């Protein structure tokens, strides 16, 4: 028998993706819709010996074909032969959700209406009579509770049945369609017609609701009670900071760091010793032992050590994202963003910037105005992305062992503040045009679906592992070669090509307190990928002889790095170095994305140069002011 | 009055939405004439505001709310 | 002999790493969000539509 083709449609925040994940599990393929860069998600399921393919259409509020997403939904539904279209409706928000339903019915698309989160709605005092709703619309209705395998089985049962063939639109819907056609045919202006049609749709919805839904007003919902603290007045901002601080404590103090420390001693002591002995015993040439141990294990190992931190941080951010708190952050940050000439919505791509600048820069596309977009693209790289995290964590652990988490948190905040200042600066100089708008649904708080959170954490964290195995691996080999050879052949490390390059670079930092060729080389290599800064430090200081007398330096950071590093930096110059790495020129991948998104080499070059200059100045200020203050 | 002047706790009935670039989006989101909305709260410094409309919550700026003419009903 | 084997293994690994980097560069992809796919409500990894 042929595969059953199913499409899922619905508003954003209806739990549609959760249902999709529940239905298809890991059997998903993600591609692109032709012509646009919106994800096309297709999943597969088998039920009662039937193969089912399910397409998860983008979540939209309407299908006016104004945005690419809306266009995708309507094009896909109109041009494909589908066995079943399921419209996922959030039961507790049924009125506005039905708007899309009505629009789809107007197009003559038969729908299976899925009243999702039926349990939520019931708790809020919204009772929906499925039979009456079926009668009112003429379409089959099913109730689900989001993430439950029972719901998934129920849906699969329906998908494999022939239920759709028995339904046709109710008289109510047919009358509505005629009314819409009359409005279309009238001689009014386009906007008048649109207005009347929208009103007609809501009039139909009101009739349907009156027939099928009873709302006993239960007063405040749980979300509203929470919002009285999290999204109300000036108090919301310190709470936001406290929540973010909590995330950092979890990552850098309570959970992430202890695991990272354990991994560190495993890689940089046990495994390194084992590898060195094994290779030497096997009779491998000395230079190759050095390449593997000092170069690759030193470089890649230094980066891998931070994998636990990355995963814990990504888990926390994905979790927050799943609760619905992100929309509140946009809401409470809008006053600040607006004063910078931006929109609160811009905070969402910025928050992604804590993960990686690349998707954050791409995420700026969702913003409404050209100005919002450009400014957001140009300021996002100031934030501490996952790849800068190891730099911060390493230096904080080495030079501020008692305050590591606080110092890292301060670095993150400084990145945000710098981004806001830069946004203000860019907004009032280069991009002077009209302001922006802000219209955003505040979805109810929900306990995130753990399966989705874990999937997301893994997907984001996996990239870090892939990078460690590819670009960091290659960079480590290159760095080892550059640091062990010059044009005359093998040489001492401080006569190597890398020392020359780093020395040249370090001339820029004479007044910053870290004018060593090692830090110059580290920063230079950081342009490839920010993790490389740590990899370089691993290779360089790892290659230096570890003398026992400096063993008292720090316990938490890599044993290998202690000696050389501890003497190259003071606490203050380490801080200046952290500030510089935080703010300077983004990595090549981010630069490439900027070129693509901002449209041209000009913006890419601008971004590379202006960020370098700002980093140079701010870092200089930190060091010199710190010195004046006597640190 | 307009929605812009809405204070926390007010229940308002929409009378009319003036033409603006946002009009169709506002109406699609359920702000149609005759609909009751409740002002729930304001962000720090009083703007934007969160309103409850058709049993969900929507945030918008006061500058955009100015285009929505309302009357107070509670 | 051992030197040769280890060097060969490294060379192959390096080849695959460089090929991966080259392909990413060529296709304009990034590893940040996982090599190619991203499920769930993964914000930012799936690109967002262009507003025109």
* CATH code assigned at B33: 2.30.30.90
List the one residue out of A35, A11, A74, A68 whose CA is nearest residue C50. A68
Asked if residue A7 lies in contact with residue A54, where contact means CB atoms within 8 angstroms, the answer is yes
Taking residues A27-31, what's their average pLDDT?
A: 68
Collapsing DSSP states into helix, strand and coil, what is residue A539?
Answer: helix
Indicate which of C6, C15, C48 best probes the interface with A, i.e. most A CBs within 10 Å of its own CB.
Answer: C48
Domain ranges for chain A = 4-215, 237-432+463-628
CATH match for A4-215 among 1.10.3470.10, 3.40.50.300, 3.40.718.10, 3.10.310.10 = 3.40.50.300
A527 pLDDT above the threshold of 80:
yes
Q: Is A10 annotated as a binding residue?
A: yes
Task: Enumerate residues 6+ apart whose C-beta is below 8 A from A109.
Answer: A77, A78, A85
* Helix (H) and strand (E) counts in chain C: 1, 0
Task: Enumerate residues 6+ apart whose C-beta is below 8 A from A154.
Answer: A142, A144
Within the 364-423 window of chain A, which residues sit less than 8 Å (CB to CB) from chain C? Answer: 365-368, 385-386
Q: Do B50 and A331 touch (CB under 8 A)?
A: yes
Residue A55 β-bridge partners: A7, A42
Q: How many Å lie between the alpha carbon of A614 and the closest alpha carbon of chain B?
A: 30
Note the pLDDT of residue A238. 93
A619 pLDDT above the threshold of 60:
yes
Neighbours of A624 (CB within 10 A): 15
Over residues A221-251, the pLDDT tens digits come to: 788 889 988 988 888 999 999 998 999 889 8
List the one residue out of A534, A532, A526 whose CA is nearest residue A591. A526
Continuous H helices in A116-268: 118-123, 130-137, 149-160, 171-185, 190-212, 222-230, 236-249, 256-265
Confidence of residue A562 (pLDDT cuts 50, 70, 90): low
Of C39, C40, C44, Cβ closest to residue A363: C44
Number of folded domains that form chain B: 1
Of A367, A458, A470, Cβ closest to residue C21: A470
A58 pLDDT above the threshold of 90:
no
Asked if residue A156 lies in contact with residue A23, where contact means CB atoms within 8 angstroms, the answer is yes
Residue carrying structure tokens 């609160």 = A344
Q: In degrees rounded to 5, what are phi and psi of residue B9?
A: 95, -15
Give yes or no for a cis peptide into B48 (omega within 30° of 0): yes
Note the pLDDT of residue C48. 35
Q: Which residue of C has its CA nearest to A462?
A: C34
Residue carrying structure tokens 């490389």 = A532
Q: Do A64 and B22 touch (CB under 8 A)?
A: no
Q: Do B64 and A439 touch (CB under 8 A)?
A: yes
Q: Do C38 and A292 touch (CB under 8 A)?
A: no
Over residues A149-207, the pLDDT tens digits come to: 788 889 999 998 877 777 889 999 999 999 999 999 988 888 889 999 999 999 999 99
Of C10, C40, C51, Cβ closest to residue A456: C40
| Interatomic CA distance for residues A494 and A569, integer angstroms | 17
| Interatomic CA distance for residues A255 and A248, integer angstroms | 10
Element (H, E) at C32: none
Collapsing DSSP states into helix, strand and coil, what is residue A500?
Answer: helix
Position with higher pLDDT, A461 vs C16: C16
Continuous H helices in A107-129: 118-123
Confidence of residue A36 (pLDDT cuts 50, 70, 90): low
Q: Is A157 annotated as a binding residue?
A: no
Note the pLDDT of residue A269. 85
Note the pLDDT of residue C33. 52
Alpha-carbon Rg for chain B in angstroms:
11
- Chain C residues whose beta carbon lies within 8 Å of the beta carbon of residue A348: 43
Q: Do A440 and B25 touch (CB under 8 A)?
A: no
Positions in chain C whose pLDDT score sits under 50: 34-52
Q: Is A15 annotated as a binding residue?
A: yes
Q: Do A456 and C44 touch (CB under 8 A)?
A: no
| Interatomic CA distance for residues A129 and A132, integer angstroms | 5
Residue A68, chain C, CB below 8 Å: the answer is yes
Residue A124, chain C, CB below 8 Å: the answer is no
What ipTM describes this predicted complex? 0.95
Taking residues B40-63, what's their average pLDDT?
A: 91
* Domain around B44: 3-72
A76 pLDDT above the threshold of 50:
yes
Please work out, in degrees rounded to the nearest 5, the angle formed at the alpha carbon of residue A94 by the alpha carbons of A205 and A89: 115
Asked if residue A395 lies in contact with residue A410, where contact means CB atoms within 8 angstroms, the answer is no
Alpha-carbon Rg for chain A in angstroms:
29
Over residues A340-379, the pLDDT tens digits come to: 777 888 887 777 788 888 877 877 776 767 788 888 889 9
């Amino acid at each position: 028998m042929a595969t059953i083709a199913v499409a899922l449609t619905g508003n954003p925040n209806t739990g549609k993706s959760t249902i999709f994940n529940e239905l298809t599990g890991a059997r998903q393929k993600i591609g692109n819709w032709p012509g646009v860069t919106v994800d096309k998600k297709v999943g597969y399921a088998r039920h009662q010996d039937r193969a089912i393919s399910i397409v998860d259409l983008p979540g939209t509020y309407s299908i006016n074909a104004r945005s690419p997403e809306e266009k995708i939904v309507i094009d896909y539904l109109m041009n494909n032969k589908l066995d079943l279209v399921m419209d996922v409706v959030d039961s507790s928000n049924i009125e506005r959700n039905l708007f899309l339903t009505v629009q789809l019915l107007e197009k003559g698309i038969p729908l299976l209406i899925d009243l999702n989160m039926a349990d939520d709605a019931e708790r809020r005092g919204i009772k929906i009579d499925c039979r009456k709703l079926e009668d009112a619309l003429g379409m089959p209705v099913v109730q689900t509770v989001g993430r439950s395998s029972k719901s998934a089985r129920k849906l699969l049962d329906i998908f494999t049945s022939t239920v759709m063939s028995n339904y046709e639109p109710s008289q109510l819907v047919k009358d509505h369609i005629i009314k819409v056609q009359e409005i279309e045919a009238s001689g009014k202006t386009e906007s008048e017609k649109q207005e009347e049609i929208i009103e007609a749709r809501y009039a139909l919805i009101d009739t349907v609701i009156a027939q099928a839904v009873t709302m006993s007003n239960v007063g405040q919902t749980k979300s509203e009670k929470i919002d009285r603290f999290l999204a109300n007045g000036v108090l919301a901002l310190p709470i936001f900071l406290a929540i973010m601080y909590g995330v950092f404590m979890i990552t850098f103090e309570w959970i992430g760091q202890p695991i990272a420390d354990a991994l560190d001693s495993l890689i940089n002591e046990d495994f390194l010793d084992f590898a060195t002995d094994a290779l030497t015993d096997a009779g491998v040439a000395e230079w190759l032992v050095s390449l593997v141990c000092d170069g690759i294990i030193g470089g890649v190992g230094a980066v891998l050590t931070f994998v636990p931190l990355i995963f814990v941080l990504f888990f926390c951010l994905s979790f927050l994202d799943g609760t619905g708190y992100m929309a509140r952050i946009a809401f409470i940050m809008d006053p600040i963003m607006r004063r910078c000439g931006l929109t609160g919505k811009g905070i969402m791509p910025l928050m992604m910037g804590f993960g990686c600048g690349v998707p954050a820069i791409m995420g700026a596309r969702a913003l409404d105005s050209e100005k919002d977009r450009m400014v957001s693209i140009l300021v996002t790289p100031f934030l501490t992305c996952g790849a800068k995290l190891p730099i911060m964590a390493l230096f904080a652990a080495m030079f501020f062992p008692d305050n590591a988490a606080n110092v890292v948190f301060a670095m993150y905040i400084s990145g945000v503040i710098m981004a806001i200042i830069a946004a203000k600066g860019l907004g009032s100089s280069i991009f002077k045009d009209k302001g922006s708008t802000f219209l955003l649904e505040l979805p109810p708080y929900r306990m995130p679906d753990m399966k989705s959170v874990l999937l997301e954490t893994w997907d984001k964290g996996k990239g870090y592992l892939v990078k460690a195995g590819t670009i960091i691996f290659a960079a480590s080999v290159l760095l080892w070669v550059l640091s062990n050879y010059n044009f005359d052949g093998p040489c001492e490390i401080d006569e190597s090509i890398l020392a020359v390059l780093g020395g040249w670079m370090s001339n820029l930092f004479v007044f910053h307190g870290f004018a060593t060729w090692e830090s110059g080389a580290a920063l230079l290599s950081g342009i490839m990928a920010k993790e490389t800064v740590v990899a370089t430090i691993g290779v360089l200081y790892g290659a230096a002889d570890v003398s026992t007398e400096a063993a008292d330096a720090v316990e938490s950071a890599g044993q290998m790095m202690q000696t050389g590093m501890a003497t190259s930096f003071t606490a203050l110059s380490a801080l200046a170095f952290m500030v510089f790495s935080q703010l300077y020129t983004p990595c090549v991948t981010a630069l490439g994305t900027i070129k693509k998104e901002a449209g041209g080499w000009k913006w890419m070059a601008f971004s590379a140069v202006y960020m370098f200059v700002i980093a140079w100045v701010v870092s200089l200020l930190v060091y010199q002011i710190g010195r004046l203050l006597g640190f | 009055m307009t929605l812009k002047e809405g204070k926390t706790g007010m229940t308002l009935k929409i009378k009319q939405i003036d033409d603006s670039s946002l009009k169709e989006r506002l109406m699609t989101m359920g702000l149609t004439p005759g609909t009751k909305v409740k002002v729930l709260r304001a962000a720090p410094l009083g703007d934007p505001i969160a309103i409850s409309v058709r049993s969900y919550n929507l945030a918008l700026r006061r500058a955009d709310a100015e285009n929505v003419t309302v009357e107070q009903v509670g | 002999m051992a030197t040769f084997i280890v060097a060969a293994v490294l060379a192959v690994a390096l080849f695959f790493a460089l090929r991966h980097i080259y392909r990413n560069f060529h296709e304009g992809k990034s590893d940040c969000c996982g090599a190619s796919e991203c499920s769930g409500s993964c914000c930012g990894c799936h690109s967002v539509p262009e507003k025109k």
